Structure 1
Amino acid sequence: MLKFGRMRLDPLGLLGVAILIGLWFVLLPFTPRAMLPSPVQVVRYLAESFFYAPNFRYFGLADHSFLSALTYTVSNVLIAVGFGSAVGILLGLFSARVSALRAGTDPIALTVGNVPILIASPFLLMWFGSGRLSTVLVVAFYVSVTLYVYSQRAAVNLSPVFEASARTFGASTPAVVRDVLLPGTLPEILGGIRIALAGSWGLEAVAELLGDQRGIGKAIRSIATAMDVEGLFAALLLLGLTAMIVDLAAARLVSGLSSWRTRDETETA
């Protein structure tokens, strides 16, 4: 693990990126530019269209730059992850401690979790229309199911000794939830949020592609229809870089919020 100040970078991850870029350059002489533009062309296209893209007007997009489309997509993902996480975590934690609730929610979560979200998304688009609401709900739907499973598993895996000890010392139920259940399940829940966040980017882009009028997904669809290969690669590159940056920030947040657990394990060892 390479460390630069407070940032840690995985050398294997960097090696993977380097190999991918190297393969890109290797394939250039054997692939028509209409199918595979050079990385330099893609980066130049992205830089020129980041703040203002005249061709977006020609494509009929509501967004007139990559920045505008990216802002819309990022805001949708963050809203959906926040809402979906809140619902999934609450239901997961309560169902782990209330058997009657778990008996009712587990079959639903199991059924819904086995249905591919891309199959369920058209129903949400039909019910709520083609707009921001349906796009956010598609992602929140996926996130809530994911966090329900992670939260419930985290609460089940938490040793009952801790809660029993707290009640022995006279802790009330709210105090047990606040001081034992939430801290004890937080690291695993944060890991689940990070996994859900990683999957939300592609799902958001697909939801925008299916019915929304804004966002990176809509831009990708319009650019692909116009056979603008450089623009398509630029949009995909921008979405991938954004997802990577947000994941690094999420990893840093998870590490900071879970630092107490690392210290406890170190002291115990």
Structure 2
Amino acid sequence: MTDRVTGNTGDDASRAADRRVYAPRITLGSKLRMAVAMVDPLRLAGLCVFVLVWQAVSMMLPSIILPPPLSVARRLATDFLDAPSLSYYGLDQANLYANLLYTVENVVVAVVVGAAIGITAGLVSARFALIRAMIDPLMMTAGTVPILVAAPFLLIWFGVGRASAVCLVIFYVCVILYLFAQRAVVNLNPIYEDFARTLGATQRQILRDVLLPATVPEILGGLKIALAGAWGLEAISELLGAQEGLGKVLEVLAGATDSEGIMATLLLLGLVAVIVDIIAGWAVQRATRWSSSFRSERS
């Protein structure tokens, strides 16, 4: 009965069945091949050259000056979960894992808070000339002064705990994101807002549907840059008086002239920073996919 009335129900069912049969299946092997294809061969080659040069130079120098890569990797694996030697230097957490978590938590909190303040201030200052005239001198001055100059003041105000280290990174991230957010709005062609007004869009709709989406790619690029610098700055701030974190580990190992432990800690911090940078780059690419396709269509 259904076939007589519609005349094509059987054909539609058969086509749907064909699509189910011939639809490509994404297996674990195909996912692994896709992941391998995403690896940049130039980066991999650069990493191999770096390790080879490191190994060659370490063979010409004493291990106390430059330990070989294999020894550093072995030390990292040994101290990651249990490093009794660190307890001799007064560290509460005698392993690299717990101190890494402390550093990661500080960076995450500082980047989130600093980005929220910087992006909001940058967007608002770009839209209102009075606010921009008030904030710009402060941000420009903060951007030209070396960030570590503020460290002694933060230590005096907040002590040697977590607050001073987090505030230092917040200060850095806020300045970076303020400049990027403001520039993103200034670089936006006003024709888009004018066109939205001709269609009857309100100021709130322009902000939600035009301004924010158009500035997302540039703001995310600034966030990626700020995140890359936040790791080193957090480690440096922990050197100034923190009781935990990879920066504190570096401080005590430097005092003991433990070059192998120092290199292992730096390697761990670098690996985490590179992994986070790759994830952030992937997230930025996914979030701004529409922007690249829009530019390619226009060109």
Question: Shorter-chain TM-score: what band?
Answer: over 0.9
List runs of 5+ in structure 1 lacking aligned partners.
none
| Contact persistence 2:239–2:251 (CA under 8 A) | yes
How far the C-alpha of 1:121 sits from its partner, in A, is 1.5
How far the C-alpha of 1:228 sits from its partner, in A, is 1.2
List runs of 5+ in structure 2 lacking aligned partners.
1-31
1:110 to 2:121 alignment: no
Which range is displaced more, 167-176 or 38-47? 167-176
Q: 1:139 maps to which residue?
A: 169
Q: 1:196 maps to which residue?
A: 226
Paired AA for residue 84 in structure 1: G
How far the C-alpha of 1:223 sits from its partner, in A, is 0.9
Paired AA for residue 92 in structure 1: G
TM norm structure 1: 0.96
From 25, 45, 48, the counterpart of 1:18: 48
Q: 1:80 maps to which residue?
A: 110
Q: Deviations over 1:63-110 (max 9, x none)?
A: 221010111101110110110001000010111110000001111111
Paired AA for residue 206 in structure 1: I
Q: 2:153 maps to which residue?
A: 123
Q: 1:52 maps to which residue?
A: 82
1:223 to 2:253 alignment: yes
Q: Secondary structure at the match of 2:240?
A: helix
How far the C-alpha of 1:4 sits from its partner, in A, is 5.4
Q: Secondary structure at the match of 1:26?
A: helix
Q: Secondary structure at the match of 1:9?
A: coil
CA distance in 2, matches of 1:143, 1:8: 29
Pairs within 5 Å for 1:1-269? 5=34, 8-269=38-299
Percent of residue pairs identical: 49
Deviating beyond 6 angstroms after TM superposition, the runs of 4 or more aligned structure 1 residues are none
Backbone CA RMSD of aligned residues: 1.3
| Contact persistence 2:59–2:68 (CA under 8 A) | no
CA distance in 2, matches of 1:120, 1:218: 19
CA distance in 1, matches of 2:260, 2:222: 35
Q: Deviations over 1:129-179 (max 9, x none)?
A: 111111111001000000000000000000111111112222222211111
| Contact persistence 1:95–1:102 (CA under 8 A) | yes
CA distance in 2, matches of 1:267, 1:158: 18
| Contact persistence 1:63–1:215 (CA under 8 A) | no
CA distance in 1, matches of 2:193, 2:241: 47
TM norm structure 2: 0.86
